[in-house]
Amino acid sequence: MSKRNKLQKFADILSYPNVFENFTPKDPKLVGENGTSIDLKGKWNEIHFKNDHPITLELACGGGEYTLELAAMYPNRNFIGVDVKGARIWKGSTKALQRNLTNAAFLRTRIELIEHFFETDEVQEIWITFPDPFLRKSKANRRLTSPRFLEEYRKIMPKGSIINLKTDSPELYEYTLEALAEYPHAEIIYQDNDIYSKPLPIPELEFKTHYEYMHLEDKRLIKYVKIRLD
């Protein structure tokens, strides 16, 4: 992949057919290819994917490694990587185009705005892969498994939907277990504080992000929590 500066990357993704961006959090609207305004709430499959396949989100997707690998593994499902950083979105969306992964798209926005871009029950699954653990207690509500965010996910997911957390952070892992013990609308159906010490429970855990490779080099244990919404 050729080297591009940020301005070039931002220009690229503005021309991409698989990227949708919200530039102003106070005005939660999307623009798509060539800066055209577009309303995809409740219409992702109809307008963009042009099928009726289930939708999975990768939140804080970074370079979109999970979005890309899941899309390749499951061609009959649709995947959307969500991140606020344009340079990260460029990396994943560029690779998706190069690999002709038409079931992979990218949404550039703040995750707390997610309900503005998806309708009730529109999303069937969420992956949260190596998010910022926000270790300060004062920032606990910014953790993507906090009750605040779980409530946001419930607005766009049907009952019984699955949320997957993969992290190297023992603090985020323990926080998630404690938060879910008190949260009445979700339950833990699987947890493991060292997934590679035994056979993986699901094949999707084999995929590794850029950050995971770094954490493994540092001998950090990789943890996984599978959550079902009530």
Structure tokens at 166: 């993969």
174: Cβ–Cβ under 8 A, 6 or more apart, which residues? none
The helix or strand, by DSSP H or E, that contains position 9, with its residue range, turns out to be helix 6-15
Residue with tokens 């498994």, as numbered in its chain: 145
- The answer to whether 132 is a known catalytic residue is yes
| Sign for the pseudo-dihedral over CA of 104, 131, 115, 27 | negative
Specify which residues 87 forms β-bridges with: none
39, 52, 121, 132: the catalytic one is: 132
117 contacts 107 by C-beta, under 8 angstroms: yes
User: Among all residues, which ones are annotated catalytic?
Assistant: 132
